[in-house]
Structure 1
Amino acid sequence: MYVVIVYDVSVERVNKVKKFLRQHLHWVQNSVFEGEVTRAEFERIKATLQQLIDENEDSIVIYKLRSRPFREIIGVEKNPMGDII
């Protein structure tokens, strides 16, 4: 499945969340990650994010898609997908 994860977390947790997501997904721009994951990977990502954040302060939105979406960039692309090895 293809996922897009968008987060808004407190300053003291933002680096932990970003570092964790970079291990599993492609960084698109500030607070946005996307990529193809298996069901098991998705469940691990979700469980770890729940441990990293404070659910009373922070917000994470996960979009699950069946296939990779069409992307159109207007302006500067922060981290081109071509950078993936």
Structure 2
Amino acid sequence: MYVILVYDFDEKRVVKALNICRKYLTWIQRSVFEGELTEGNLYLLKNELKKIMKENDSVIIFKLEGKFMVNKEIMGKKISDNNIL
């Protein structure tokens, strides 16, 4: 499945969240990631994030049937070198 993940973590944990997400997905902008994941890897990613999350942190995961069902338009500075979509 194709996944877009967005997180909002306290600045004390943001680097940990960044490093966890980069193990599984492609970083595209600040706290935004995208990429293909198996159900198993999505499960692992979610569990790793849960271990560092506190009460005010949040993660939103968009699951898509495939990356070809998304039209991405980039305006302004492109942060990532990977233009997957």
Q: TM-score, normalised by structure 2?
A: 0.89
* Residues 73-84 of structure 1: pairs in structure 2 closer than 5 A: 73-82=74-83
Corresponding residue for residue 11 of structure 1 = 11
Identity of matched residues, %: 37
Long gaps (5+) in structure 1: none
How far 1:23 sits from its partner (Å)? 1.1
Long gaps (5+) in structure 2: none
Q: Partner amino acid for 1:15?
A: V
* Residues 2-81 of structure 1: pairs in structure 2 closer than 5 A: 2-54=2-54, 56-68=55-67, 69-81=70-82
Provide Cα deviations, 1:5-57, integer angstroms capped at 9, x if missing partner. 10110111100000111111100101101100001001111111111111x11
Aligned-residue Cα RMSD (Å) equals 1.4
Q: Partner amino acid for 2:14?
A: V
**Following TM superposition, where does structure 1 have runs of at least 4 consecutive aligned residues deviating by more than 2 angstroms?**
none
Q: TM-score, normalised by structure 1?
A: 0.89
